[in-house]
């Protein structure tokens, strides 16, 4: 595994020792993995529906403000 270059420490003499970090997936429990699968499969449709709902909400608000 390649380690990133150590950055200079401002205001101190010397450099902090680098610590090796191993990226491991966190053990997700519950509904989180299922939500990830759903968003991955239907993310585009959810985005389109949310834009349509937001547009209808804005147009409805403008309509009722003009009526009052």
- Nearest C-alpha neighbor of 6 from the set 23, 46, 14: 14
pLDDT greater at residue 63 or residue 6:
63
What are the pLDDT digits (tens) for 16-53? Answer: 556 666 665 565 568 888 888 888 888 889 899 999 99
pLDDT at 39: 83
Contacts for 46 with CB less than 8 Å, ≥ 6 apart: 39
The two structure tokens encoding residue 10: 């401002």
Contacts for 4 with CB less than 8 Å, ≥ 6 apart: 18
pLDDT at residue 59 above 90? Answer: yes
Q: Give the global pTM.
A: 0.44
């Amino acid at each position: 595994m390649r380690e990133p270059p150590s950055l200079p420490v401002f205001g101190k003499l010397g450099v902090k020792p680098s610590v090796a970090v191993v990226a491991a997936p966190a053990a997700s429990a519950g509904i989180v993995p299922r939500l990830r699968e759903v968003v991955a499969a239907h993310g585009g449709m959810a985005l389109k529906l949310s834009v349509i709902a937001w547009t209808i909400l804005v147009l409805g608000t403008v309509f009722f403000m003009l009526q009052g």
